[in-house]
Structure 1
Amino acid sequence: MNKFLGYIFSPVFYFLFFLTLVIFQPVQWICYRFFGYKAHKVSVDILNFFLTYCDLALGSSVTFVNDQELPVNRPIIFIANHQSMYDIPALIWFLRKYHAKFISKIELTKGIPSISFNLKYGGGANIDRKDSKQAISEIIKLGRRMKENNWSTVIFPEGTRSKDGKLKTFQIGGIATLLKAVPNALIVPVAIENSWKIVQYGNYPLSFGERLRWTVLCPVEPDAKKPEDIVLEAENAIRVQLNQVIVP
C-alpha cells in the first residue's frame, strides 16, 4: 500500500520540495549579500524547516529526539549514520542552535537551487574525493572555523548511504582530521531510522507513510582517546539504538 500511495503523493512531495528550493535561492542570496552570515543562516534554517516537513506530504511522521544537554559554547562533531538525502534537512533544522555544518562533495556546489548556494557560502567543507590533499585541507579549515566560532559539524562516517538501513562500518579518516584541528570537540552520535525506506523503490515512487526518526545519543568526551576508539564508541551507540549490535 505504501508503494501504491507513493505513486499518488510523490508528485505532490516533489512539487513542494523543489518549489521550496527555488523560492529560497533568491532569499539566501539577498540575506548573504546584504546582511551577512547571521541572516543567511536564518534563511537556511527556515529553508530546512520547510524541507523537513515536506515529508508530511508523503504521509511520513517526523520525530527528532534530543534529550541531551549539549553545550552551545563548544564545538561538536555529530556522528550519524546515513540513509538518504532526506536525512539532512532535519539535522540542519533541529540542530540549528549548534550551527551544524557538513562535509560535502564539491560537485554539489553547482546546479542545485538553494542547496548549492548554502554549500558554497554556508561555512562547511566541500571536498574533492579524487584529491586527498584538497579534502584534508578543506576539513582542517572547517575544524578551524569550528574552533573560532564554536560551530558544529555533522559527519557521515559510513562513506556512502545505506540502501537497506543496515549500518556500515564507520571510517575514521574525516573525524580524525577534524579532531586534529579541534581536539576539544564533543562527540555526539545521532541515530537515523527509516529514512532509507522513503527511497526503497527508487526516486519514484517514494514510499508513503514511513516513520522517520532522529535520536541524539549520549555524548562522548574525546579526552585522551584514540580517534578509532572514539569512532567505534559512537558506532556502537548507534548500533544499539538501531538494534543492529554485532554479536561476536
Structure 2
Amino acid sequence: MNGSLVLAATPMGDVRDASERLKVALATADVVAAEDTRRTKHLASALGVTITGKVVSFYDQVETTRLPALVADVAEGRTVLLVTDAGMPSVSDPGYRLVAACVARDLPVTCLPGPSAVTTALALSGLPVERFCFDGFPPRKQGQRRTWFEALRTEPRACVFFEAPHRIADCLADAAAVLGGERRAAVCRELTKTYEEVRRGTLAELAEWAADGVRGEITVVLEGATAVAAEPADLVDEVERLVAAGERLKDACAMVATAGVSKRELYETVLAARKD
C-alpha cells in the first residue's frame, strides 16, 4: 500500500501560478481535503481539471473531527491531497495537526511547493530580509497587540505577518507607537491579483496611509531592529544577578559579554562598580 498525505500550495490569486504537479494531484488524488470545497472546485475548473476523488471540507472548526478518517485513508493506501484557499497548508491555515498525526503514525507526507504570501512579500518589500521570522496574525486586542510588538522591539530579523484589512490601520498605529515611527515596513496587499499594491515607507507614513481604509488580503514585512552597541556599565546588573544566583564572576561575565563588550572589559567594569 502506497498511501500518502500530500500538501499542495495553491495560487494566491492568479491561477496561472498553479504548478503542473498541483493539476495532476487534483485530478488523481483519492481524497481532496479542502479548506473551502467550493473554492477548490472552482480552482480545478479554472485549471481545466476534473477532480475524480472524494472532496471533503477541512477547515479550522472541523479539523479535529476530520483527522481520524483522513489518517485512516492514508494508512489504508489512499492519497490524501490537502489544499487551502491560497498558499501553503499549515502556514496560518489548517494542516499542522493532520501532518503531525500522520508523522506520529510514520505515514508518508510530502509537499508540492508553490505560491507563498510570505516569501512573495519578502521579495517585494525592498528591506533587508536575509534573515526573517514569520509570526502569523497579531492579537486583535490593542493591549495584547502592543505587547506583541514589544517583543519585536529588539528583534534583528525582518518579521512577516498577516493582518485583516479592517484592523490594519490600528495595527500600524500601534506598531509605530511601540517600535517608533521611523522603523521601515512594507504593506503588501492583493498579491498576484489585479489590484496588487505594495506600500513601502516608515511605520508613521504607513499608519497615516492606512487610516483612510485598506482593502484586500494583507501581508506586512517589518524591518528588523538595528543593533545598538551595549555599554559595559549597562551589563553590570545582569552579571551581578547571575553571581547572586551562584555563578562565578568570571563565568557570569563570559555569559553576559556581547560582541561589543569583551568579558575582560566587563569583568573590570564590575570590579570597579563594586569599589564605587
Q: Which has the higher contact order (CA 8 A, sep 6+)?
A: 1
Do Structure 1 and Structure 2 share a fold, with TM-score over 0.5? no
TM-score between both structures, scaled by the size of structure 1? 0.33
Q: Max radius of gyration: which structure? A: 2
TM-score between both structures, scaled by the size of structure 2? 0.30
Which has the larger helix fraction?
1
